[in-house]
Chain A
Amino acid sequence: MRFRALTKAAAILAIVLPTASYAHRAWLLPSATVLSGDNLYVTVDAAISNDLFYFEHHPMRLENLAITAPDGSSVMPENVSTGKFRTTFDMPLSKPGTYRIALTGDGVFGRYKLNGEQKRWRGKLGDVTKSIPTGAEDVKITHSQRRIETFVTLGKPSDTLSKLSGRGLELQPVTHPNDVVTGSEATFQFMLDGKPAANAKVQLIRGGIRYRDNLDEMNLTTDQDGKVKFKPTVAGMYWISASIEDDKVDIPNVNRRRATYAATFEVLPE
């Protein structure tokens, strides 16, 4: 019984924090990214799927959801509902400017040898010491640090997104993500712990995968300033993901850190 409970917990955690080793993609999809008028609402879908942006696998749990308004205040999601394939919620836009919707999470995973036998383990940050048995050898544990975002702007974009947490991999817009259009070059900067993340792997995929044979992805690497540049030719909802690994860890018995970032943004036709 105990084994079963643990397995279930691990499975749920895997849904909340899928790591890069999983093929699934985690995303937030807003009903609109550029809005005019006042006192509006946006509905956001949150799911983990293979194809973008189809809810066909797992709903996303909204633990650690943070919606930041243009004035820096927090917005509470409304009408939160988790179904079989997606979680959905509404968010009011009561002030003009840019809103950031972010889901963050931490986890640890890895392997070790016990009495010559290879073991795999996945769990919470605080559980490393108590979960790795005494006598374990060859312990290789990675701290997984995740952030999933999307952005919505009512009226004129504001500087909401330039305020970073300084923890993990984050997007520092050079081009505002609600301002990307076909035929114009866009620049995004990735920051690791608040500093430019050089040599991070970045991938861009346009939604609507189901209706085409090729993924048509763009694979990029950040430069010394943590920047990537791209010029989209086709409009649509895009999913950008980035990851970087290093040895910067401050948790006992953890050797590596894998910081990942994913965001949904819209490319509008010129």
Chain B
Amino acid sequence: MRKVLTIGVAGALGSPAVAAEVEVNIEIPRLDVVEYHRPYVAVWVEPVDRTSAKTLSVWYDVDHNRGEGDKWLKDLRQWWRRTGRSLKVPADGITGATKPVGKHALKLDAANTVLKELAPGNYEVVVEAAREVGGREVIRLPLTWPVQGPSQAEAKGTAELGVVSLKVTP
């Protein structure tokens, strides 16, 4: 079982912050494998009852030389079923190239088109990684919206993802 650590600041802090920032840190681990390709990664937000989903970011092989980069998007299986298949790719401000081994920060402010439309409630930020000729892994981190105070959540993947953290600043 993966442990999710949540460090929140308790107590009412008055009205929700307008200038909130959500930072998702994603570590792509170095893997000792025969054939390595950078993973496809999708980041999305969904309410805890999982009734809807909104894509925050997708890293895929946008400029695949045979134009086949989107052929493997369905391997981000959970994202694909929940929302990915409704997204026209490439999408401005959402899709981007795959990333190398290392830590990558995805910073979203309250003006983000998805976040600004988010109804108040309890959500999960989901990170899914799928690697060509490799495996797949999904990590979920809790997010309460609107942001009530600074908080951080973190989980460590066991296969395709390293440490994934969610830092919220009001």
Chain A contact residues, CB within 8 Å of chain B: 34-38, 40, 155-157, 179, 181, 268-270
Contacts and interface: CB of A to CB of B under 8 A. Distances in A.
Contacts of A157: 85
A36 B80 contact: yes
Nearest to B85: A156
A94 to B, nearest CB: 15
Given A156-B85, A156-B86, A40 B77 contact: no
Most chain A beta-carbon contacts within 10 A, residue among B70, B77, B84, B85? B85
Contacts of B68: 37
B74 A35 contact: yes
Interface residues of B, number: 13
Interface string B58-99: 000000000010111110011011001110000000000000
B81 A36 contact: no
B72 A36 contact: yes
Contacts of B81: 34, 179, 181, 268
Nearest to A153: B85
7 A-B pairs closest in CB distance: A37-B71, A36-B74, A36-B73, A37-B70, A156-B85, A155-B85, A34-B74
Nearest to B74: A36
A268 B70 contact: no
Contacts of A155: 85
A36 B78 contact: no
Contact of B77 (A35, A37, A156, A269): A269
A28 B47 CA distance: 38
Contacts of A37: 68, 70-71, 73
Nearest to A269: B77
B78 to A, nearest CB: 7
A270 B78 contact: yes
B85 A36 contact: yes
Contacts of A179: 81
9 contacts: A35-B71, A36-B70, A36-B73, A36-B84, A156-B86, A181-B81, A268-B77, A268-B81, A270-B78
Contacts of B71: 35-37, 40
Given A36-B74, A179-B81, A181-B81, 20 more contacts: A34-B74, A34-B80, A34-B81, A35-B71, A35-B74, A36-B70, A36-B71, A36-B72, A36-B73, A36-B80, A37-B68, A37-B70, A37-B71, A37-B73, A38-B70, A40-B71, A156-B85, A157-B85, A268-B77, A270-B78
A129 B86 CA distance: 55
Contacts of B84: 36
Contacts of B86: 156
Nearest to B64: A37
A18 to B, nearest CB: 34
A269 B128 CA distance: 13
A191 to B, nearest CB: 26
Nearest to B136: A269
A155 B81 CA distance: 9
Most chain B beta-carbon contacts within 10 A, residue among A34, A37, A156, A268? A37
A147 B74 CA distance: 29
Contacts of A269: 77
